[in-house]
A and B are shown apart, each in its own frame.
Chain A
């Protein structure tokens, strides 16, 4: 089977400022269907730039990008928008939900912009199903301000899933979350990945990267390491460990 993501010698140079910034310097990469990749690297190493390229939010300065067999490096604005809508799902560090809009309506949003036409009922059912996958179907009528960070991120994941994308892209999805909710979100990702969804995520936390199957390390815009994760963490057991640690903390707290 051909790789779902295939980039060849891709470069990105920002020349909006006084001196051009060469943020991505010739990255070549293949990601197979069903893979679960963590992209790591120091701040400023070009992780977000590469994610924006993978997410078709930006065009490479040089190089070729084949997404699901389609060369997207030369597509125009609207064609890229359609690719983002149909083939990709995004999860951002800052959740980026529409304020004062219910969880359900947030999840429905990508379906409204799609080329495929759905009835209002179909849209509603599909969005509810995705909220169910992330375990938030009871809170469908809550506004983002009424949800915790972890819940907001799960709504964002449901939104990313609603158009059944080929690849789920997440730029530091746990960056704003504490350890427990991070593990919960990673649990959702692992569940989705088990069901066959390809996931690429950025993180700078090693223990988060260990939930993935494959780790990539970027330094100054160059891919310096690409390796499979040997001692993979699993959300269920990590959460159990966290619970017992917390219980222990409480016990010691009670004794003293």
Chain B
């Protein structure tokens, strides 16, 4: 029998029981819809995290205080600062393949300007900090090495701080008071948005790390060290060398630092969303499986109901393979149509979720294609047994069937 005729026969059979066909396809519709929605939401979350990780800068390696050895995270990253300026200097001196190093000291402080005050994070960094983080100065300039050496009272400020304190004027050249010490504003950073942990990265004031340690926090330790490797290829080697340098400097004491690169950070940050996505997709796949079993069930009923029809077809010359194809195509049309509707439903519902909850969603072409192919395959797989049962009927028995 020609393929076109088989498809026509299959569609006609499905239309004969429109309501039943819709209900049967509903299992697949819900399954595919759920998979698409879950994967879209998961992909959206992942894409957001990746964008945030990218906003950390290119090829960035971070050294945190505190270790993550076998005992687990001791004290937490940066919580009990044990790194020193000397550590940072040693890294800069001894490790090759580095384009920038910035010792970091972090703090929160009340800052004053224009008679307004604002609580913000005040961080000590080196002049390479904007380059390391791929963070442009929108207005003015970054402080210099000279400012670091001279423990200068200068700073650059983030967009949020600029908006809060200098709503109507250009902050560059004006003075900002931190702990009542006047700092001259040299520049304003570009807007960068929120980081991985939902913090506003633009809500910050950056001063030379020496000024932070000697004038503000009066600490002798630094919180962390930011290092930029020259390229993605050398990042592993640089990371290893940093670990080696720091370990040597500790002369056999238990390591009190953790070296992480950007990729690892991204993995940590995306691990949970990925696990969630997988879990949700797995649950959704189960409903797809249930949909497939629904198709098998209805096809079996259909074969039994249409035993006489099969008998007639066989008697007038249909081959077993013609009957097999007819039922297989019926099941496949049912499931792939359900797949198409499910895909539309999944896209629609993920857009709705995005609209209502403000979650980022990302409908990938791959997930749509895979969902369609998979739903068609479900129909073929679960339709095969009933179709084969139909094809193997004996024409006389089938004709005699009441």
Contacts and interface: CB of A to CB of B under 8 A. Distances in A.
Most buried by A among B309, B315, B321, B399: B315
A58 B400 CA distance: 13
A: interface residue count bin: 20 to 34
A81 interface: yes
Interface in B329-348: none
A109 B16 contact: no
Contacts of B127: none
Interface in A92-111: 92, 96-101, 109-110
B309 A113 contact: no
B16 A100 contact: yes
Given A96-B312, A98-B309, A81 B2 contact: no
A117 B309 CA distance: 23
Interface string A40-68: 00000000000010010110000000000
Contacts of A82: 317
A65 to B, nearest CB: 16
A109 B313 contact: yes
Contacts, number: 56
Interface in B1-50: 1-2, 5, 9, 12, 16
B326 to A, nearest CB: 11
A4 B345 CA distance: 62
B318 A117 contact: no
Given A98-B312, A109-B313, A78 B396 contact: no
Contact of B2 (A86, A96, A112): A112
A159 interface: yes
Contacts of A92: 399
B356 interface: no
B316 A85 contact: yes
A82 B60 CA distance: 74
Given A96-B308, A98-B309, A117-B2, A109 B396 contact: no
Contact of B317 (A81, A96, A101): A81
A57 B128 CA distance: 89
B316 A109 contact: yes
Contact of A159 (B5, B12, B316, B320): B316
Contact of A113 (B16, B318, B396): B318
A82 B322 CA distance: 12
B5 A78 contact: no
Interface in B295-322: 308-309, 311-322
B243 to A, nearest CB: 72
B312 to A, nearest CB: 5
Contacts of B399: 92, 96
Nearest to A95: B312
Interface of A: 52, 55, 57-58, 77-78, 81-82, 84-86, 90, 92, 96-101, 109-110, 112-114, 117, 159, 163
